[in-house]
Amino acid sequence: MKKLTALLLSLVLGALVSLQAQTMDFKSGYQFPTIDQDSVLSGLRSIRGSDVHPNPLGDGVSGLAVTNYADEGHIHVFKSTGDNEMELVWTSPAWDSLGGGSRPRIVKWADLDGDGLIELIAPFNLNGIAIYEWDGVAGSWNFGQEGPSFVITAPLFASVQDSGAAYSSIEYLDVADVDGDGQMELMFANNSTGSDYDRYYVFSIDDDYSTDDPGFAVLNREAMYYKSKGEYAAYGGGTPYAVVAADLDGDEQKEMVFHNWNYGHFTVVRGVDANTYELADTTGGKNYVYSNYPDDCVSLGGGTPFDVDGDGREEVYFPLYSANGLVLMVHFEEGDTLTQMDSTNAFLLDAVADSDSRFDFFGRAGFGDYDNDGKPNLYFAARHGNYIMSAEFQGGDKTDQANWTTEVLYTGLDLDSTIYSKMTITDSAGVVDTVFSLQADTEGTIAMKIFSNHTDFDKDGYQDIIMPTQTWKDSIDVLKKVWLKDSSYVVYDTMYANTDSMKIDTVDVTESIFSEESYKIVEPNRISLRFLESSALFTGIKEKRLTVITPADYKLEQNYPNPFNPSTTIQFYLPVKKQISLVIYNSSGQKVKTLVNNQVFNKGRYVQEWDGTNDNGKQVASGMYIYKLKFGNFSKSRRMLLVK
């Protein structure tokens, strides 16, 4: 196993073999499998959403949830297993249909039903919004093996138009108590086909559900606002894109900021009583703000609440797409009313002021203090070459550009320069030239919904920025050209002058003829999820050298001998300390023998022997048997044949 290496742009023919064999043990992020290796996990080549919880199960272990478009859509959960190491511990069950379509785009940790058990919430296109609740078993990381605990769908959440050709696109959702009734609300903007189902929603849950079981939970739709009709029609138009909960006035009661795709739009919606909400006062036309008129723009990844100056009032930061590096700060100062707003409540922070170029932002903002200087940093995500921008607040008036310093915090150029989309190998009579095309240049890779909230995922004392990226491929397109021969011919150029004579010019041309062969090879340096960590001297950030453990790292070998009589041995390997079971079943799926029953084994290789008896000590009949290794929420199985 080799560490990441940079490949030269001109290689000898033998370099192709080296490239195919190259793998990485310690990686600067998550190296997603190819589609041949794992059809589901290969979808993690394009991660749009991520969310980190520092202690979801109450045992001090961090959890990272990410989205996956593949196979009608999935959610995956990784847990920290130590410094610079994490393990995939859960994958949401597959949907039969109606998912996928570049969804889900967001996932969030929450406890919507308020029963003290952590949940994962994600929208799965026309299937609705799925809620997966932890089963409460210490260390299980089990959020369901059969399906969601609860699904928010029609008729209260209408995502399908009469034609049946609609889709449900939810880029951002939030969970908070926004009406002060002690009950959590789920709020989001739905962007559907056409405009009839472009709406804002606020939901809550009465009673509770459990893992794989909806129980007696009842869905309450506390509010719904149409894009272009009803009372919200007077609030600026444009596609509903995000709802962010924030304590704008410092009274410890969160309000909602609605954000439409229309000139950097926002408006504030307040909870005034249980399940009762009030839009801004339309008197004088101060019920919404276009922050960037006449230039249209939107925050593709939603907004982030943060109190940058410590005055007790949260601002909401919307990194803008199609605004050349601007970030909308929605803020309210002491004495401001939340019932009306104007341009004084919108500050456009130039987050690329100190950069050599201007570019757009794609995802939500993060925050932290990577350099440990006591000054807060806001992080904004863009694309290859300018993946992460930092804007550090120096103190004073937060709406004064002079009080911010900006920098490109992470370019990604070093790692991106080792990830290729195409290679052309030209063999000219033994002289070989190889030319590479970079994926980041040809595929337009972007960073979307980064996560940083003074995050220290592996609790090593250094802050992390979790950076999902999109549009990576798992393979390299190879064009191999081999010289066959040169072909010579003459080109005649005939011209008539203003005389009776004719002039004939000739040009000798030699053209090389090549055979061509096209095929694909695995891209060894494919990285879709990057961990960026503050340096030991707090002078910058660096790519974390990360080990990622997946089910593929658990090995269950073929039994030996096979066929067997009277006994056989079963060998397995565990990449980490784990509670496991090893069970034998007959061909009908009935349990025959338990060799290991929920025992904890350290990392390492183990051998178990089966003597052909069942749990009662009796010899079993000849036939086909299945042995299954269960580890956490995953398992592996093989077949063996007992012959007497």
| Alpha carbon 74 to chain centroid, angstroms | 11
What confidence tens digit (pLDDT) does each residue in 287-301 have? 999 999 999 999 999
Q: What tokens does 188 get?
A: 């989001």
Q: What angle do CA 355, 407, 66 make, to 5 degrees?
A: 115
Which is nearest to 294 in space by CA: 330, 326, 323?
323
Q: Is the pLDDT of residue 248 over 80?
A: yes
Domain residue spans of the chain: 92-302, 477-522, 554-642
Q: What tokens does 111 get?
A: 């406890």
Predicted local confidence at residue 167, as pLDDT: 61
* pLDDT above 70 coverage of the chain, percent: 91
Q: What tokens does 233 get?
A: 């029609």
Q: What does R_g of the chain's alpha carbons equal in angstroms?
A: 29
Q: Is the pLDDT of residue 442 over 70?
A: no
Predicted local confidence at residue 4, as pLDDT: 27
End-to-end CA distance of the chain: 43
DSSP 8-state symbol, 560: B
Neighbouring CB atoms inside 10 A of 419's CB total: 23
Predicted local confidence at residue 29, as pLDDT: 73
Predicted local confidence at residue 44, as pLDDT: 82
Which is nearest to 265 in space by CA: 296, 234, 300, 305?
296
State the chain's mean pLDDT as an integer: 88
Q: What is the mean pLDDT of residues 430-447?
A: 83
DSSP 8-state symbol, 344: G
Cis peptide bond prior to 148, omega within 30° of 0: no
Q: Is the pLDDT of residue 584 over 90?
A: yes
Of 17 and 191, the structure prediction assigns the larger pLDDT to 191
What confidence tens digit (pLDDT) does each residue in 593-614 have? 999 999 999 999 999 999 999 9
Of the listed ranges 38-47, 107-116, 518-527, the least confidently predicted one is: 38-47
Q: What is the mean pLDDT of residues 420-444?
A: 85
Predicted local confidence at residue 367, as pLDDT: 97
Q: What is the mean pLDDT of residues 519-528?
A: 86
Q: Are 255 and 248 in contact (CB under 8 A)?
A: yes
Predicted local confidence at residue 158, as pLDDT: 64
Is 26 in a helix, a strand, or coil? coil
Predicted local confidence at residue 154, as pLDDT: 74
Q: How far is the C-alpha of 285 from the C-alpha of 269, rounded, in Å? A: 15
Q: Is the pLDDT of residue 159 over 80?
A: no
Q: How far is the C-alpha of 258 from the C-alpha of 255, rounded, in Å? A: 10
Predicted local confidence at residue 493, as pLDDT: 61
Q: Are 344 and 332 in contact (CB under 8 A)?
A: no
Superfamily of domain 554-642, CATH level 4: Macroglobulin (MG2) domain (2.60.40.1930)
Q: Where are the beta strands (DSSP E) in 193-299?
A: 199-206, 218-226, 239-246, 255-261, 265-273, 276-278, 289-290
Predicted local confidence at residue 51, as pLDDT: 96
Q: How confident is the model at residue 41 (pLDDT cuts 50, 70, 90)?
A: confident
